Amino acid sequence: MNATVRRAVRLEHRLTQPNASLADLEAAVTLAVEHDLAALTVNPWLVKIAKRRLGRSRVTLGTVVGYPHGSQVLSVKAFEASKALEQGATQIDFVLNGGALASGDDETVFNDMLAVIDMAHSALASVGVIIEAQPMSEEHLRRACRLAERAGADHVVTSPGSATVRGTVARTKLLRDSVGPRIGVKACGRFRSADQVEAAGEAGATRVSAALTAALARQLVEARAPVGAAR
């Protein structure tokens, strides 16, 4: 893995499967702490427990809002974000309103973003917009990125997490090309090797998020991948 990728990309373990259990959380916390990962993102109901388990660890605790389709009304997303922040999350990723975007209703999309972003920033938390709930055209994706940047997002996210590596890398390139240098790009997909993480970094990702295995985490450490560098 080249030095540029090592410097820039942060690695995040993602535990957002619908049936993620307390046992899964215990394993996730152990993996994140032992390998000094940059972040652990969990389902909303696990945030409070994860906060206790992480203790004084440097690992950032994230969660998801409006997951996985993003069609909830603005007030519901804002409330969901407020509860997550109250329970200890310091990073929020939320799904945009894809239906409003497809309908050309940019005002609704923007206000939806702003409600969650302002909520997170008021609590000194970082916040990302998950750009795709369902397949979108390139024009829609670029417009969503412009709206997310205007609303003050800290990063844009390629998908809710089930995308293939090839699709994720391609989407990463598009999102990186659609936002300015201030905003990060999180590549979220089914990464299984250090080479795949490197490909995402070379495509412009500043973060890589995946349901990691201990073997991959070890592989990334051995390759001097960015498991805890640059926070």
* Domain range summary for the chain, segments of one domain joined by +: 3-222
What per-residue confidence (pLDDT) applies to 224? 53
pLDDT at 63 (0 to 100): 98
Report the mean per-residue pLDDT for the chain.
91
**pLDDT for the residue 226:** 44
Extract the runs of DSSP E, i.e. beta strands, from the chain: 10-15, 39-42, 60-65, 91-95, 126-130, 155-157, 184-188, 207-210
Banded pLDDT at 198 (limits 50, 70, 90): very high
pLDDT digits (tens, 9 = 90+) for 13-58: 999 999 999 999 999 999 999 999 999 999 999 999 999 999 999 9
What confidence category does residue 8 fall into, taking pLDDT thresholds of 50, 70 and 90? low
- pLDDT at residue 201 tops 60: yes
- List, in sequence order, every residue forming a beta bridge with 63; answer none if it has no partner: 42, 92
Q: Decide which of 231 and 223 is more confident.
A: 223
Q: What is residue 5's predicted lDDT score, i.e. its pLDDT?
A: 41
Checking if the pLDDT of 6 tops 60, the result is no
Q: What phi-psi label fits residue 124: left (phi over 0), alpha (psi between -120 and 50 degrees) or beta?
A: left
Output the pTM of the full model. 0.90
| Spatial contact of 68 and 43, defined as CB atoms under 8 Å apart | no
Q: CATH topology for 3-222?
A: TIM Barrel (3.20.20)
Those residues whose C-beta lies under 8 Å from the C-beta of residue 88, and which sit 6 or more positions away, are: 47, 48, 50, 51, 61
For the stretch 138-184, pLDDT in tens is: 999 999 999 999 999 999 999 998 889 999 999 999 999 999 999 99
